[in-house]
Amino acid sequence: MKILLVGEYSRLHNSLKEGLVELGHDVVIVAAKDGFKNYDVDLPIQKKYETGILKKIKNVIYRFTKIDLESLHIKKQIIELKPKLSDYDVVQFINEASFLCTAKIEKHIFDLISSWNRTVFLLSCGTDYISVKYAHDQKFRYSILTPYLDGKEQFSSPYGLKFLQPDYVELHHHIYKSIAGVIASDLDYHLPLLNHPKYLGLIPNPINTKQLDFNHLNIEDEIVIFHGINSHNYYKKGNDIFEDALAIINETYSNKIKIITVRSLPYEQYIEAYNEAHIMLDQIYAYDQGFNALEAMAKGKVVFTGAEKEWLGFYNLEEDTVAINALPDAKHIAQKIEWLILNPEKIVEISLNARQFVETHHNYKTCAEHYLKTWKKHI
């Protein structure tokens, strides 16, 4: 099959492509580079209004005319790429706004690419209308919107609130009328989609463990704790709570731990930066693991992330055996870290379980086969 993957978040489409290619399929990724993370893209869409004087010009023009020069620039590139974006058996968009354009331009791009190809699918693996509305209606016990709703930050962009605006709601309905179906990448997107007529089910994030070496953890002196901060998503990921928890634990165990904190590193540097860590602090407001957590788990780290009771039930797991559920409570997180410090054999045990879990449930080839089966059923 010829498969076009549109957009990229957290290396999901790259890992899926690697599985599909090994299974003998022809796969192309078209996407704008994902900010500082800099993932591989076959057909890169360039952004030229992100910094400097061009950004200022873009902002002034948008303020007075509501015309977004970056969106128009991206649409122009898509049109120029028509010969390379046509005649695919399957197209999968990674999001309702895969290029971070205005809703109007996203609609145009979606219609163009859809008209050039056979069957179109959508992923729910990041903020979109259904997941944001579910969170905004507070149907989760907590969600990525919790820090915003609690007033920690008034800057709404990281929380995806744009998807509740009328033009993006219209975009959502337009896309859902056209797609063959929508697939969720984990439970945070699965739960809001349950019972939706276009929902095709959950396919776990594909992880290429061939590229992630597992290192058996040796605990001799210090226990190394890694905290990677994405400055743009500081409150959304719960980094403030992790920092409070580290301050608590450092008061008592400073002679037994080493804390590594990094900010907004490119992907390749990021996964190298936590190599020596035993424990990784990933994110708080989640029920399931995203890509960063899963890749760290594949490398044998004990990860504090989404590991809620819904996730335990879905995979038939016991609490604190594969990953540590990071609740939005600094004292609770500090207690879990303390438990690991006092029971280092648990770190080794969870490390082994984490790698096995990723190999079993997130194998990139198995997940690719699941995608193929789902796509073929609805072509």
pLDDT in tens, 76-126: 999 999 999 999 999 999 999 999 999 999 999 999 999 999 999 999 999
Nearest alpha-carbon partner for 302 in 175, 215, 369:
215
Over range 345-373, report the average pLDDT.
97
Single-letter amino acid, residue 133? K
Q: For the chain, give the mean pLDDT.
A: 94
Classified as helix, coil or strand, 345 is helix
What is the C-alpha to C-alpha distance for residues 84 and 107, in angstroms, rounded to an integer? Answer: 20
Alpha carbons within 13 angstroms on the beta-carbon side of residue 79 total 9
Q: Tell me the per-residue pLDDT of 179-235, one tens digit each, with 9 for 90 and over.
A: 999 999 999 999 999 999 999 999 999 999 999 999 888 888 899 999 999 888 899
Strand partners, 39: none
**In this predicted structure, what is the pLDDT of residue 337?**
98
Q: Using pLDDT thresholds of 50, 70 and 90, give the confidence band for residue 158.
A: confident
pLDDT grade for 134, boundaries at 50, 70 and 90: very high
∠ Cα 44 47 50 (to 5°): 145
Q: The pTM is what? A: 0.93
The answer to whether the CB of 368 falls within 8 A of the CB of 336 is: no
Same fold across 2-206+363-378 and 210-361: yes
pLDDT of 35 above 60: no
Beta strand extents in 295-351 (DSSP E only):
302-305, 324-325
The two tokens of residue 235 are: 């409150």
CATH 3.40.710.10 assigned to domain 210-361? The reply is no
CA dist 66 and 61 (Å) reads 7
Binning pLDDT at 50, 70 and 90, where does residue 282 land? very high
For domain 2-206+363-378, the question of CATH label 3.30.70.100 is answered with no
Residues 261-286: what's their mean pLDDT?
Answer: 87
Of 299, 317, 305, 306, which is closest to residue 355 (Cα–Cα)?
299
**Residue 110: what residue type?**
F
Predicted confidence at residue 320, as pLDDT, reads: 98
Boundaries of every domain in the chain: 2-206+363-378, 210-361
pLDDT, position 86: 98
Out of 19-28, 72-81, 255-264, 352-361, which region has the weakest mean confidence (pLDDT)?
255-264
Residue 23 in contact with residue 79, Cβ under 8 Å? no
Three-state DSSP class for 43? strand
